[in-house]
């Protein structure tokens, strides 16, 4: 039963992310959401900061898509799941906050993400990926190394 409710929340989250629906973010993440993503180099706290990060990301990569590569894994009786996914898109505007400067380059990176759900919203996201791969695709590999050290 928990896995069905989680799947609905997760489906809604991926729909908002892939439609780049800034207003919809409030419907899928908790006000006090925590996002710990290897790509960002810092922990994002709260839905306001979450929204700002994704507004910038979607401006830089307007065709950004998150794809689930396999069905989510749901631990028994826990309000969480793990997704193996892929992020793809084309950098059309520089994104200096991430060190992404090679406009016209293509992003293609696999990730593993843990999502925790509180009530009907995602409250915690932990995304694991290798930022050096993305840095080689769209920017500066040295910056990626600094992000890994800082995380």
From first to last of the 151 residues of the chain, give the pLDDT tens digit.
457 788 899 999 999 999 999 999 999 999 999 999 988 878 999 999 999 999 999 999 999 999 999 989 988 778 999 999 999 999 999 988 777 888 999 999 999 999 999 989 999 999 999 888 888 888 765 655 555 554 4
Domain boundaries, the chain: 2-150
What does the pLDDT look like over 80-110, one tens digit per residue? 999 999 999 999 999 887 778 889 999 999 9
Topology of the domain covering 2-150: Nuclear Transport Factor 2; Chain: A, (3.10.450)
Q: How distant, in Å, are the alpha carbons of 18, 37, 42, 101 from that of 127? A: 16, 5, 12, 22
Residue 16 confidence (pLDDT) = 98
The answer to whether 138 and 102 are in contact (CB under 8 A) is yes
């Amino acid at each position: 039963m928990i896995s069905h409710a989680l799947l609905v929340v997760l489906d809604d989250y991926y729909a908002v992310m892939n439609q780049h629906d800034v207003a919809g973010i409030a419907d899928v993440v908790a006000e006090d959401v925590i996002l710990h993503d290897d790509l960002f180099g810092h922990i994002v706290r709260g839905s306001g900061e979450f929204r700002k990060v994704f507004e910038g990301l979607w401006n830089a990569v307007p065709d950004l898509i998150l794809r689930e590569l396999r069905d989510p894994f749901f631990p028994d009786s826990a309000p969480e799941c793990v997704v193996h996914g892929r992020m793809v898109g084309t950098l059309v505007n520089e994104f200096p906050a991430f060190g992404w400067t090679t406009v016209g380059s293509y992003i293609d990176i696999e990730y593993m993400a843990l999502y925790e759900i509180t009530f009907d919203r995602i409250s915690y996201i932990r995304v694991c990926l290798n930022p050096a791969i993305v840095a080689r695709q769209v920017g500066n590999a040295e910056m990626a190394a600094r992000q890994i050290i800082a995380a």
